Structure 1
Amino acid sequence: MTDWDPSPPAAASGGRRLAAARAEARAVRQPLERPAPLRQAVYDVIAEMIINRELQPGEHLVENELAAQLGVSRQPVREALQRLHSEGWVDLRPALGAFVHVPTESEADQLLAARTLLETESARLAARLATPENIEHLWGLQRAGEKALSDDDQEGMVAANAALHAYVVSMSGNNVLAELIALVDRRVRWYYAPIARSRGREAWDEHAALIEVIASRNGKRAGDMMRRHTERTRESYHKRRKEAAEREALA
Structure 2
Amino acid sequence: MLSTGLSQGAVPRLERPGPLRERVYETLLELITTRALSPGQHLVESELAGHLGVSRQPVREALQRLNTEGWVDLRPAQGAFVHEPTEQEADQLLSVRTLLEAEAARLAAAGSGSAGVAALEKLCEKGERAVADDDPDLAVAANAEFHAKVMELAGNVVLAELAGQVDRRVRWYYQPVARQRGTQSWIEHRALIAAISARDEKAATEVMRAHTEHTRAICHRRENG
TM over 0.5: yes
2:13 maps to: 31
- Percent identical across equivalent pairs? 56
Per the TM alignment, residue 219 of structure 1 is displaced from its structure 2 partner at its CA by 0.5
Q: Does 1:160 align with 2:148?
A: no
- Residue 22 (structure 1) aligned with residue 1 (structure 2): no
Work out whether 1:201 is the aligned partner of 2:183. yes
* Counterparts of 2:4 and 2:53, CA distance in 1: 19
Residue 126 (structure 1) aligns with = 108
What's the CA shift for 1:26?
5.7
Q: Which amino acid aligns with 1:112?
A: L
Corresponding residue for 1:141?
123
Please give the per-residue CA displacement for 1:118-146, whole angstroms capped at 9, x wherever unaligned. Answer: 10000001001011000111111111111
3-state DSSP of counterpart to 1:98: strand
* Letter matched to residue 191 of structure 2: A
Query: Which is higher, the Rg of structure 1 or of structure 2?
Result: 1
Equivalent position amino acid for 2:20 in 1: L
Say whether 1:41 aligns with 2:23.
yes
Q: What is the distance in 1 between the residues matched to 2:51 and 2:131?
A: 30
> Could you tell me whether the CA contact under 8 Å between 1:59 and 1:99 is conserved in 2?
yes
- The match for 2:170 among 177, 188, 196 is 188
Contact 1:19/1:59, CA 8 A, preserved across alignment: no
Please tell me whether residue 105 in structure 1 is matched to residue 93 in structure 2. Answer: no
Change (3 A) 1:99 1:21: closer
CA distance in 1, matches of 2:2, 2:213: 34
**In 2, Cα distance between the equivalents of 1:26 and 1:179?**
36
The residue type paired with residue 233 of structure 1 is T
Match of 1:79 in 2: 61
* TM-fit CA distance, 1:84: 0.2
Match for residue 53 of structure 1? 35
Q: Is 33-42 or 177-186 further displaced after alignment?
A: 33-42
Q: CA offsets, 1:78-130, max 9 Å, x none? A: 01000000000000000000000000111111100000001000000100101
Amino acid at match of 1:148: A
Query: How far apart, CA to CA, are the structure 1 residues paired with 2:68 and 2:4?
Result: 28
User: C-alpha offsets along residues 51-98 of structure 1, whole Å, 9 cap, x if unaligned?
Assistant: 111111011000011111111111110010000000000000000000
Distance in 1, Cα, partners of 2:67 & 2:122: 37
State the SS of the aligned residue for 1:22. coil
Q: Could you tell me which of 152, 159, 164 is aligned with 1:170?
A: 152
Distance 1:235 1:174, change over 3 A: same
Aligned partners of 1:19, 1:208: CA distance in 2, in Å? Answer: 43
- Gaps of at least 5 residues in structure 1 are 1-17, 244-251
Decide whether the 8 Å contact of 1:19 with 1:60 is kept in 2. no
Compute the displacement of 1:224 (Å). Answer: 0.6
The amino acid across from 1:108 in the alignment is A
The separation in 1 between residues aligned to 2:10 and 2:187, in whole angstroms, is 37
Equivalent residue in structure 2 for 1:216, among 194, 198, 207: 198
Q: What do residues 121-174 of structure 1 show as CA deviations (whole Å, max 9, x unaligned)?
A: 000010010110001111111111111111211111111000000110111111
Normalised TM-score (structure 1)? 0.87
Which consecutive residues of structure 2, in runs of 5 or more, have no partner in the other structure?
A: none
Distance 2:10 2:92 in 1: 36
Shift of 1:231: 0.2
